[in-house]
Amino acid sequence: MEHGSTMTVGDHGAAAPAEPIIRLVGVTKVYHRDAIEVPVLERLDLDVERGEFLALMGPSGSGKSTILNLVSGIDTPTEGRVIVAGTDLSDLSSAELASFRSRHIGFIFQSYNLIPVLTAYQNVELPLLLTDLTRKERKDHVVAALDIVGLTDRMDHLPRQLSGGQEQRVAIARAIVTDPSLFVADEPTGDLDAHSAADVLTLLQRLHVEFGKSIVMVTHDPHAAERADRILHLEKGVLVESQVRNNGR
């Protein structure tokens, strides 16, 4: 969210096409384990449009989570360029990358990553403590984010007092609260029962459709992937299949 404002709905009526929110150009990623090279991505080209909901599928080790780490600036490519929200991440220092992530990336993890001794409110407020917002402005943002995920009545609860589905919704509120350009979700329903998973996927779809947010989600669950606009299948670091869906957009 812009400082002092609430989350804005994406403008889908712009006359000129916007540049992609993500552009990967010839991206190769090789990890080293002792003297052994482990290739993960091989000259990958990929565009993700602004406002798109993309699902990445494939077997373990196919490079799905590596793509999330690259586009969020947590990792760097061995070769190629990673451009996110108009910024070439290779041009940024470590400090600039940290600032970029705090402004542009909302993280949603399988394991929620909530701090157990903090309330839902305090967990959601954490990213805002690094900003220059006043206490009242932070409160407005936190309450707005918790309202979007339907948990204003649980804001004073600790994580252990919440169900798994509620914990994930708090984690999504924490991702929402800074109004990022892009959400990256790594198996966001992996630890949830079917009902809670459906609730979380509906929430992600709402962020996508109602607020025009860009989402890249890694999942092994074909039912989760069906919520996306496009499904990409990877095998051994190579895109092998692309499926475009029409989810009422």
| Count of structural domains, the chain | 1
pLDDT tens readout for residues 112-169: 899 999 999 999 999 999 888 999 999 999 999 999 999 999 999 999 999 999 999 9
215 in a structural domain:
yes
196 in a structural domain:
yes
Among residues 21, 22, 64, 27, which one has the least CA distance to residue 43? 27
How confident is the model at residue 13, as a pLDDT?
A: 46
Instruction: Give the domain CATH number at 113.
Output: 3.40.50.300
Query: What does the block give as tokens for 75?
Result: 């990792």
More confident residue, 15 or 167: 167
32 in a structural domain:
no
Strands (E) located in 165-218: 182-186, 214-218
pLDDT tens readout for residues 69-83: 999 999 999 999 999
120 in a structural domain:
yes
197 in a structural domain:
yes
pLDDT tens readout for residues 20-68: 999 999 999 999 888 899 999 999 999 999 999 999 999 888 999 999 9
The count of C-alpha atoms lying within 13 angstroms of the C-alpha of 216, restricted to the half-sphere facing its C-beta, is 29
Q: Which domain holds residue 119?
A: 51-63+93-244
